[in-house]
Amino acid sequence: MADEDKDSKTENPTEKKLRETQEKGNVPHSKEATLFATMLATVIYVTFFLPARMGRMGEVLRDLFEKPDQWKLETGPDAISLFVRLGWEVANVVLPAMVLFMTFGVGASMFQNLPTPVLERIRPQFSRISPVSGWKRLVSVTGLVEFGKSLTKILLVSVAMFFVLRGEFFHSIDAMASDPHTIFIRLSEIVQQILIIVLMATVVVGVADVLWSRHHWFDQLKMTKQEVKDEHKQSQGDPIVKSRQRSIARDRARRRMMKQVPRATLVIANPTHFAVALRYVREEGDAPVVVAKGQDLIALKIREIAEANNIPVFEDPPLARSMFAQVSVDSVIPSVFYKAVAELIHRVYAAQSNRKRVR
């Protein structure tokens, strides 16, 4: 089932999934890149900082062993003074290394991914301490790749140390009989040679690991076609739901429009296809306003409401069709319709005056 599920994930991850994954702290990260940065810092330290500092440390130790009478150890403060002096010398050797390691380590991590606070990464999870989950991680593809990288590094380091130390073996034994200053310098040279060879091997492993980690991360995020469709529905909205919402909105707007028909002054209609209800009151505005319009069944409904409320209905197909196409509801009619509509309004007012005189 797992293989089938993996085979079905043929689509590249969407921007939304990539963003959410990164927000959760799941980003491609190469441990070998960090190791390479650490090794590079080590080589820089051994090449530019260690020789002078180790030479100074050798001089201090030589004075300590060859001229012990210069160091008084009769009281407690004397011992403290000696330890403080040695502590400063050790700090002089160690402190630059710590600064370089921290700088290059943080720089390697930031080069791969910008730091973002993710609480999810520090949340306690049972799967992290579960023996079953741990075993699955060990026998997975990722676990096998990590094992292969570790084995490769061990072999490279072992081979490098063998070839370097084989040529330096007798020179190192001879240096053991010399003064401490010479011993430290000789050891630093040997360590420097080993580190340069290891650094060259780490470059190869690091580049390969960066490429593989990004490829593996992207491959793990691939989606099925159904997942892509579901995500598109979630982001854009379900078309069926949106269509239903638009239909409901149109129904509500239609009901509100129908409630305005009894307030109309007249209705201009094509016999069955179009109807436009206009309201004109001198006190309300200078031009008539469209309070309702409709086509087919809605047009018939507008006529029905108008007739029920004794609102005059004028049949003028060209005018009704033009006004329906050009004027929206709650809008004043354009000036091009003033003359035709004014004649109809005049007829309405004339009819109202005649009814009043008859009464």
Q: What is the pLDDT of residue 39?
A: 83
Q: What is the pLDDT of residue 143?
A: 66
pTM: 0.46
Q: What is the pLDDT of residue 121?
A: 56
**Which of 160-169, 186-195, 320-329 has the weakest average pLDDT?**
160-169
- pLDDT higher than 50, residue 4: no
1 pLDDT tier (thresholds 50, 70, 90): very low
Q: What is the pLDDT of residue 330?
A: 85
- Average pLDDT for 294-317: 88
Q: What is the DSSP letter of 279?
A: E
Which residues have a Cβ under 8 Å from the Cβ of 198 and sit 6 or more positions away?
39, 156, 157, 160
Q: Look up residue 34 and give its two tokens.
A: 């960090």
Which domains are delineated in the chain? 2-233 (no CATH), 257-358 (3.40.1690.10)
The rounded distance, in Å, linking the Cα atoms of 181 and 132 is 54
Of the two residues 67 and 18, the one the predictor is more confident about is: 18
What mean pLDDT value characterizes the chain? 77
Kindly tell me the burial class for residue 41, based on how many C-beta atoms sit within 10 Å of its own C-beta (0-12, 13-18, 19 or more).
Answer: buried
- pLDDT higher than 80, residue 189: no
User: What's CA 246's distance to the chain center, in Å?
Assistant: 32
Reported as a single tens digit per residue, the pLDDT across 89-130 is 888 888 888 899 889 888 887 887 766 665 555 556 555 555
Q: What is the pLDDT of residue 163?
A: 72
**Which of 51-65, 244-258, 305-319 has the weakest average pLDDT?**
51-65
Which residues have a Cβ under 8 Å from the Cβ of 327 and sit 6 or more positions away?
276, 290, 293, 333, 334, 337
Of the two residues 114 and 304, the one the predictor is more confident about is: 304
- pLDDT higher than 80, residue 351: yes
Q: What is the pLDDT of residue 245?
A: 75
Q: Look up residue 171 and give its two tokens.
A: 């020179």
Q: What is the pLDDT of residue 175?
A: 57
| Range with the largest mean pLDDT of 142-146, 243-247, 286-290 | 286-290
